[in-house]
């Protein structure tokens, strides 16, 4: 699963993406820096077939499914490796932030407003 291609959730980039001074070829691989942040943690790409889920809530850390492989335990947090197929489940668990969804009617109204504003600016 490519986190950047999904359209339901808002994608954030780790701060190290901008700070790294590597060659442009290394910075083109944005997917390794993308993460879906939520109220109780975040989801990010771990490998080509797995995602990692970081949970920073004492209540939710005990609600992880048994099939998820936990790789880090803490007092209030856990990190688990999950298959790509559990993507939606992980996003709902951390309450990932969703993108705004506009209807076609709303999009056409916004385009018209933009056209009107550009005419006034000229």
The 10s digit of each residue's pLDDT in 2-39 is 766 677 888 777 776 666 666 666 656 666 778 888 99
Tell me: pLDDT of 104 over 60. Answer: yes
Residue span of the structural domain in which 75 resides = 12-121
Phi-psi region of 5 (alpha: psi -120 to 50; beta: other; left: phi over 0): alpha
In a domain, 1, yes or no: no
Q: What is the pLDDT of residue 4?
A: 66
Q: Is residue 104 part of a domain?
A: yes
Measure the CA angle with vertex 76, ends 72 and 77; round to 5°: 35
Please give the Cα distance from 120 to 106 (Å, whole number).
21
Q: Would you say residue 109 lies in a domain?
A: yes
Q: Is residue 39 part of a domain?
A: yes
Residue 7, in any domain of the structure: no
Asked whether the predicted pLDDT for residue 122 surpasses 60, the reply is no
In a domain? residue 3: no
Reference 45, options 78, 15, 14, 76; nearest CA is 14
Q: pLDDT digit string (tens) for 43-100?
A: 988 888 899 999 988 777 778 888 888 898 888 888 999 998 998 998 888 888 887 7
Judge whether 66 lies within some domain.
yes
Coil/strand/helix, residue 26: helix
pTM score, two decimals? 0.71
- State the total domains in the chain: 1
């Amino acid at each position: 699963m490519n986190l950047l291609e999904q359209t339901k959730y808002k994608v954030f980039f780790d701060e190290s993406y901008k700070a790294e001074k590597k060659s442009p070829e290394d910075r083109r691989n944005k997917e390794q820096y993308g993460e879906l942040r939520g109220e109780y943690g975040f989801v990010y790409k771990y490998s080509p077939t797995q995602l990692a889920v970081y949970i920073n809530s004492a209540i939710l850390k005990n609600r992880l499914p048994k099939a998820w492989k936990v790789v880090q335990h803490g007092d209030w947090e856990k990190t688990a490796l999950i298959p790509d197929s559990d993507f939606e489940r992980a996003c709902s668990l951390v309450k990932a932030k969703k993108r705004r969804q506009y209807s076609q009617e709303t999009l056409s109204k916004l385009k018209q407003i933009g056209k009107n504003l550009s005419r006034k600016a000229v």
